[in-house]
Structure 1
Amino acid sequence: MTGMPSNRGRPGRVQPDGVSMSADAARALAASLREGQIGAFKAESDVAACLMPLLRALNWRGTGRRIVEAMPHFANDLTLADLRNTLAELGYRTVARPLRQAGAVDPRVLPALLMTEDGRPYVLYGRRADGGFDVFDGRARGEAVLAETEITGTLFLVATTERRSEQRKERQDNWVGQMFRRFNPLTRRLFAMTFVLNLMALVVPLFILTVYDRVIPAQSTDLLIPLGLGVLGVFAFEAGFRFVRSRMLALVAGRLEQIIATSVFRKILALPSSLTESAPLGAQVARMREFDSLRDLFTGTVVTVLLELPFALLFIAVIALLGGWIALVPVAMMLVFAVVGLLLLPTLRRRVAATGRARAERHAFLVETVSNLRTVREAGVEGIWAERFRDLNAEALLSQFKSSQIHMTLQTVAQGIMMAAGVLTIAVGVVQVLGGVMTIGALIATMALVWRVLSPIQNLFLTLMRAEQAQNAVRQINQLMRMPEEERRGTGSTIERRWAGRVALNRVSFRYSQTSEPAIFGLNLVVEPGQMLAITGANGSGKSTLLRLILGLYRPQAGQVTLDGLDIRQLDPGEVRRTIAYVPQETHMFYGTIAQNLRMANPVAGDDDIRRALDLAGLWHEVQQLPQGLDTRFGDQSFQQLNAGFRQRLSLARGFLRDAPVLLLDEPAQALDEAGDRALCAALERLKGTRTIIMVSYRPSHIRMADAVLVLDAGVPALYGAPDDVLAKLPKGLL
């Protein structure tokens, strides 16, 4: 490899989303692509090092945040699959093309990704006049030139594709059915393999027929040996076929679990807050667990039975050829199975539904108890909670016992039907043999075929309970997928707008339910860019609700909320929430390091940005004193063990880290000590005039810092004006 390529004249691609960017954003993105690093992302693997050069060669235009969001969670060592998935999230489709001849690359398909046979990745920029290729070497982390003979391995072509919004409305009445249709090619293969397997299953009855009617009467061992070897060969072939079919079923089950789990999780994330916040956490987790029954449907015997059921007609036809009217015996038994199943189905459905509800309530109680275990212990109600769990567990076990009783009834009935089928087959067969219609060999072969016909029917009969559980899961998934989502605007996440930060509410009214009183009623409000507004009022006056309306978490039933004159309902919700920094009343952190939790507000933030945000919150020196500093890891419980002031300042730092033109603060001084309050006041003074700040607070010192004060009373403005004027008119005891 020799020389360094020039960027001039290099072929490029058009950004798939076709959006415009501000000059500052374009320069920032260009610098990130050139340096191969965005925020905390560091290309630690050879493949990861190729991401930025490839995007630069594709002339990708968007935000650095969009790149980080497209990558796996906190991943620096991207694999080839991770890189292809990241490109897919950014609107590019990759197609693998093995190179049959060294250097056989059409320059028109470049830029592309080359993976050599020894696993070394390159980004192919273009072809040189001397036949070589300008490349980026992922292992050497630099640009170079490859000779034509070195271009071997697999070429991954990159093409733009129309990206479909992942939050598009799912209005299909049968989402699960449409998903199953994606597996039609595999389903056809499974049916073809099952047909071959059923043809092989005829070998044993025919072998029995031949032995009893030909070999034994003729006492011909010479005929028995080749017949036996042939049957053994068929058995071996059948075992191989069944192994392949089981692998295909496992593949379908795995893909189904991936698609269903991912789609359901994305759907829940896309639902409006008004829908998700009304359901308890435990109930939502229990619903997710119920969807596992669809996966179990494919890993169990139900699918195998459904595949083999249509071929029962084949065996009935063979029985009719061997014994004539004796074929009516399995047909009659099939009808008996159907009648008994229909009679038991209503009871079965009630028991399955009751068992599902009881288990869901028990699981919901467990999740909520573990989530609030400290509160339970602080209140000293461990005994009461244990009694509640005992009652819920007893109810769940009782429902499961009743369901087990029905299942045992099904087993008893199925066994009786199978025994009756055997007796009837022998009885009718003996009559046929005595009448000369059948031979002894044909009777024994018919017995084997009758068992073969009724065996899948029996298995289907015994899996009625599991099938009913799967049907309930299908109904729940279809119902979930029909629920309305937040409006998504597709390319909004790649548009870099210049927001001034003007917030306005025009006759906004909102209530949490149709039966509740309005939380906000007929509110008119304008907050100019750079203005600081303090909101106060009694508990339940609608202060936090107002902030959530501005953030777009709730949608008003009347009126409109605008950002720089644009109705936020016409904007992508993600874009609105990236434009607005929000510090809620309750501080929540996910399992991970301090830096990772802070970067949730700004994924492209570097360590210096985090340090400045922590310093603004008065927390930097305390974080430095931790054993791992920014890399200190905590989870839900360990985070709750930190003092309340530390948690609150960490939440403030996360809000400060998002460089947003609008900052919403919901009682930011709660749990802060005197030093923390001084740091907050200093931060507000520093940010005042540079951001639009809307703050809910009871503290007079904070209210006096504001440019204007709004007092809410039951969702209606009671006072509005300058801080000194409003404070003078406030009722005593409100602050």
Structure 2
Amino acid sequence: MRWEQLPGLLAHHRVAARLLDAEPGQLGETLLPCLIDTHDGQPLVLLAIDGQESRLLSPVTGGELRMPLEQLRSLQRGRVLVAHPAGQDDWRAAGYARAASGHWFRDLVGRQWRRFAEVALASLLAALLAVASALFVMQVYDRVLPTRADGTLWALALGVFIAIGLEFLLRALRSVVIEQGGKRLDLALSRSLFQQAISLRLASRPGSTGAFASQMRDFEIVREFFTASTLGACGDLPFSLLFLCLIAFIGGPVALVPLAAIVLIVLPSLLCQPLIARLAREGMREAAVRNALLLESVDHLETLKTNRGEGRALATWQRLSASQSARGLRSRNLNAWIASWTTAAMQLAYVASVIAGVYLVFAGELTAGALIACSLLTSRALAPFAQVSQLLARWQQVRVAFEGLDELMQRPVERPEGRRFARLASVDGHYRLESVCWRYDAQSVPVLALDRLEIRPGQRWVLLGGNGSGKSTLLRLLAGLFDPASGSLRLDDRELAQVDPVDRRRHIGYMPQDIALFQGTLRDNLLLGGGDSGDDRLVAALDMAGLGDFVRRHPLGLDLPIAGNQSLSGGQRQSVGLARLILQDPPVVLMDEPTAALDQNTENRVIRTLEPWLEGRTLVLATHKRALLAWAEYALVLQQGQRALDGPLQEVLSATASAARRDGARQEATTA
């Protein structure tokens, strides 16, 4: 990891950090302790400075040592990292004198204020230098030509050449500054959006992956808006007033012409904004639907083919494409009309300024040189407004894209701003549920409603019930992936929602029904959470999961390339999921149909090998397979999201068998 990435990473964990260009001896006590990067790659924590000696802590060894400041300076490489816990609101102050909460995008842009200040300064200097060419022409026509003073001509020409060169350099430097700032904004914005996407609560994630991907891709529209052309036009806009004032100073009433032209240039774009907004909104919605259809068709191509759905999918695609193409054509025609109108308005303004100036020349109130200077300054004054007119045509598309990104950033996340979670160093695995209810949204009926349930440490429970009875939902609640809509869900006498998500993931191992594989190698997919487990440990976990022989026989072994879920069979993917769980080594194990796709021999081997591994762990298992009941001691039967029966496994099985016999006898009697 790069040193510059540490402040952003620490900010995610509620630690305010910054990098300083300073030597250890220059740091005050308020900045200690701090982290110092060294040439050997082993960072040191500077605890204190006692005269010419430093007191250090090595994060690698954990030991404390003393070192002369001169030696520490020779070891130092680059900047030092100072950090402190981020400030927290105190309830005693309530809302008194509280600063207004920032907006995610405004905060990111605000960090580039130095760049914007540099752009504004460069724009001001470039605008001042741009006046030189107009003044040059005025002086040539009014003073050089009547007197044939070629010496004055070359003196003026030298000055204007210098001004043009400086203006060129300033505008080139301004573009570089804007692009550098845009790059930083691009990186910060993309990081914030992706971090938000992977931090979403499962209950608040978007329903369609394709539409969500299209929404994320709209980030490109917002990013491209903040480029040199856009910010350059905005930077030049305030200085158009300078040109207008100069026109008024030189030509007097001639300044009314560019003022009227500004209205003619900008007004059509403003009047067309509602139509442009509607076209942009509808077009982007259809683009999202098209993208969703494309991803769904490719991901489920086998289902599409076996059910002869290609024709229907193609017809839907053509309908969406035709509608989007028609709206796109209408939008492009409108933008082309606005661009043509802007060009015509600028030409008319130039001609009108010449005509108005000619009458002033006839009246003796203006010289010929001043007339030409005013016409040149008119073009300069209107150029930024012409660019703004084009930007207004794009603004609605940017606005719609930004609304989609803003909606994403407002979705609930696992780690809300200002929330401090409880840390758990260890977990016994004691669950207690009371009046727990969960639903998809506030208006829907409860998917799960449990009046009570207690799972003691080390107990092994199996969840039984038909499809849609709430088994998977209960497992997600126990894993902390869902929060109850009401009721109490406690782990070791602490509300599970209070526990830091990091500790939930570390202490609670959850294996879902569908095992997802990611682009990379088999080793990468086993170590999704990072770490440096050796190959022996990985292969041992695969042996327990029933995939070890396959890996040993394959020429690439753990370097087997994985390209999504199509690279391995369903049973092999489940073995990878089991191996991930084994490598995590959690005290609480939650499994949702862990052997549903395994063949009988592999399933029996997995049951035998995992039996000793599960010893002493809290286990909650959802299954329809009778063979997995060998792991369980207790059972919970769910019907329509509610507890129908629970208790020791054999008692529950006997009760359900008796109930099944009674139902069968009742049906036979009814049939007879």
State the TM-score, normalized to the length of structure 2.
Answer: 0.86
Q: How many angstroms does 1:189 deviate by?
A: 1.9
Match of 2:572 among 641, 646, 650: 646
Residue in structure 2 matching 1:162, options 76, 85, 88 = 85
Give the match for residue 727 of structure 1: 653
CA contact (8 A) 2:22 2:80 kept: no
Counterpart among 142, 156, 160 of residue 227 in structure 1: 156
> 8 Å contact 2:142–2:368 — kept in the other structure?
yes
Residue 641 of structure 2 aligns with an amino acid whose one-letter code is G
Partner of 2:552: 624
Could you say which residue in structure 2 is the equivalent of 1:265? 194
Aligned partners of 1:178, 1:650: CA distance in 2, in Å? Answer: 42
SS in 2 for 1:161: strand
Tell me, what secondary structure is at the counterpart of 2:226?
A: helix
Which whole-Å CA distance do the structure 2 matches of 1:316 and 1:173 have between them?
37
Q: Which of 506, 510, 517 is equivalent to 1:589?
A: 517
Within 5 Å, give how 1:175-194 maps onto structure 2.
175-194=104-123
Counterpart residue type for residue 478 of structure 1: D
Deviation for aligned residue 1:602: 6.8
Quickly say closer, same or farther: Cα 1:130–1:353, change in 2 above 3 A. closer
Name the CA distance, whole Å, in 2 between partners of 1:372 and 1:557: 33
CA distance 1:508–1:554, shift in 2 (3 Å): same
User: Are 2:172 and 1:243 equivalent residues in the alignment?
Assistant: yes
Matching residue of 2:278: 350
Q: Which amino acid letter does the alignment assign opposite residue 236 of structure 2?
A: E
What SS does structure 1 have at the residue aligned with 2:112? helix
The alignment partner of 1:671 has SS state of coil
Q: TM-score, normalised by structure 1?
A: 0.79
**Aligned partner of 1:325 among 239, 253, 264:** 253
Where does residue 94 of structure 2 map in the other structure? Answer: none
Question: Would the aligned equivalents of 1:176 and 1:474 in 2 still touch at CA under 8 Å?
Answer: no
Equivalent position amino acid for 1:613 in 2: A
Partner amino acid, structure 2, of 1:382: E
Distance 1:506 1:401, change over 3 A: same
> Quick one: distance in 2 between partners of 1:573 and 1:171?
28
Shift in Å, 1:93: 4.4
- Shift of the alpha carbon at 1:457? 0.9
Paired residue secondary structure (1:463): helix
Q: In structure 1, what residue type is equivalent to 2:165?
A: A
CA-CA distance at 1:292 after TM superposition = 1.6
| TM superposition shift of 1:601 | 5.2
Q: Report which structure shows greater RCO (CA 8 Å, sep ≥6).
A: 1
- SS of the residue corresponding to residue 207 of structure 1 reads helix
| C-alpha contact (below 8 Å) 1:614/1:620 kept by paired residues | yes
SS at match of 1:301: helix
- On the 8 A contact 2:126/2:167 being kept in 1, the answer is yes
Q: Aligned to 1:360, which of 281, 288, 293?
A: 288
Amino acid of the structure 2 residue aligned with 1:649: S
- Which of 446, 455, 465 is residue 393 of structure 2 equivalent to? 465
* Alignment-derived partner of residue 181 in structure 2: 252
1:532–1:689 Cα contact (<8 Å) kept: no
Change in Cα spacing, 1:243 to 1:193, as seen in structure 2 (3 Å) is same
Say which SS state the counterpart of residue 642 (structure 1) adopts.
coil
Q: CA deviation at 1:301?
A: 2.3
Deviations 1:98-131 (A, max 9, x none): 77xxx98889879864656xx9888598999999
Give 1:340 deviation, angstroms. Answer: 2.3
Alignment of 1:707 with 2:630, yes or no, is no
The whole-number CA distance in structure 1 between the counterparts of 2:458 and 2:615 is: 4
**Cα distance change on mapping 1:504 and 1:408 into 2, 3 Å:** same
Contact 1:521–1:716 (Cα < 8 Å) also in 2:
yes
- Structure 1 residue 195 and structure 2 residue 118: aligned? no
1:81 positional shift: 4.6
* Residues 1:486 and 2:409 are matched in the alignment: no
**Cα distance change of structure 1 residues 514 and 145 upon mapping to structure 2, 3 Å threshold:** closer
Q: Could you say which residue in structure 1 is the equivalent of 2:457? A: 529
Identify which range, 202-211 or 289-298, moves more after superposition: 289-298
Residues 120 and 489 of structure 1: CA distance in aligned 2, closer, same or farther (over 3 Å): closer
- Do the aligned partners of residues 84 and 487 (structure 1) sit closer, same or farther apart at CA in structure 2, a change above 3 Å counting? closer
The equivalent residue for 2:96 is none
**Which region of structure 1 is more displaced relative to structure 2, 319-328 or 361-370?**
361-370
The alignment yields a C-alpha RMSD, in angstroms, of 3.4
Aligned-partner residue type, residue 560 of structure 1:
S
- Aligned counterparts of 1:502 and 1:519: Cα–Cα separation in 2: 24
Matched, 1:574 2:502: yes
Q: Give the Å deviation of 1:290.
A: 1.0
Q: Which amino acid aligns with 1:241?
A: L
Note the alpha carbon deviations across 1:310-364, whole angstroms, 9 max, x for none: 1111111111111111111111111223432332121111112122222222222
Deviation of 1:695 (Å): 0.5
Shift of 1:583: 0.8
| Compared CA separation, residues 630 and 312, structure 1 to 2 (3 A) | same
Provide structure 2 residue ranges, at least 5 long, that are not aligned to the other structure: 89-98, 664-672
More divergent stretch after superposition (516-525 vs 223-232)? 516-525
Shift of 1:225: 1.2
Give the secondary-structure state (helix, strand or coil) at the position aligned to 1:509: strand
Please give the secondary structure, in 1, of the residue aligned with 2:620: strand
Task: Tell which deviates more after alignment, 698-707 or 669-678.
Answer: 698-707
Which residue type is aligned with residue 357 of structure 2?
G
Instruction: Decide which moves more: 610-619 or 324-333.
Output: 610-619
1:307-322 matches, within 5 Å, as 307-322=235-250
Cα gap change, 1:131 to 1:409, in 2 (>3 Å): closer
Partners of 1:114 and 1:573 in 2: CA distance: 30
The alignment status of 1:209 with 2:125, answered yes or no, reads no
Alignment of 1:382-461 (within 5 A): 382-461=310-389
Q: Alpha-carbon deviation of 1:606?
A: 4.0
Give distance in 2, aligned partners of 1:322 and 1:621: 90
Provide structure 1 residue ranges, at least 5 long, that are not aligned to the other structure.
Answer: 1-71, 73-78
Check whether the contact 1:529–1:691 (CA below 8 A) recurs between aligned residues: yes
Conservation of the 8 A alpha-carbon contact between 1:581 and 1:658: yes
Q: Distance in 2 between matches of 1:591 and 1:281?
A: 17
Alpha-carbon shift at residue 216 of structure 1 (Å):
0.9
Distance 1:711 1:149 in 2: 68
The aligned amino acid for 1:711 is V
Of 580, 587, 591 in structure 2, the residue corresponding to residue 665 of structure 1 is 591
Q: Distance in 2 between matches of 1:716 and 1:204?
A: 83
- 8 A Cα contact 1:511 1:519, kept in partner: yes
How many residues of Structure 1 are paired with residues of Structure 2 in the alignment?
Answer: 641
Query: Which sits farther off after the overlay, 717-726 or 596-605?
Result: 596-605
Residue 5 (structure 1) aligns with = none
User: Which residue of the other structure, out of 259, 263, 267, is the alignment partner of 1:339?
Assistant: 267
Quick one: percent identity of the two aligned structures? 29
Counterpart of 2:616? 690
Aligned to 2:478: 550
Is the Cα contact below 8 Å between 1:293 and 1:466 reproduced in 2?
A: no
Instruction: Find the residue that maps to 2:469 and give its secondary structure.
Output: coil
Question: For the structure 1 residues 104 and 310, does the alpha-carbon distance in structure 2 shift closer, same or farther, using more than 3 Å as the test?
Answer: closer
Q: Distance in 2 between matches of 1:552 and 1:121?
A: 36
**Cα distance change on mapping 1:369 and 1:144 into 2, 3 Å:** farther
Post-superposition offset of 1:712: 0.8
2:603 matched to 1:677?
A: yes
Q: CA deviation at 1:294?
A: 2.0
Structure 1 residues 451 and 107, CA, compared in 2 at 3 Å: closer, same or farther?
closer
Contact 2:179 2:228 in 1 (8 A): no
Q: SS at the partner of 2:85?
A: coil
Asked whether the equivalents of residues 173 and 482 of structure 1 are also in contact (C-alpha less than 8 Å), the reply is no
Q: Residue 381 and residue 565 in structure 1: after superposition, are their counterparts in 2 closer, same or farther (change >3 A)?
A: same
Change (3 A) 1:82 1:425: closer
- The question of whether the paired residues in 2 share the 8 Å contact of 1:493 and 1:575 is answered with no
* Amino acid across the alignment from 1:175: W
Structure 1 contact 114–124 (Cα < 8 Å) conserved: no
Alignment partners' CA distance in 1, 2:618 and 2:197: 31
* Distance in 1 (alpha carbons) for counterparts of 2:17 and 2:373: 56
Q: Check the 8 A contact 2:521/2:561 in 1, yes or no.
A: yes
Deviation at 1:587, TM superposition (A): 0.9
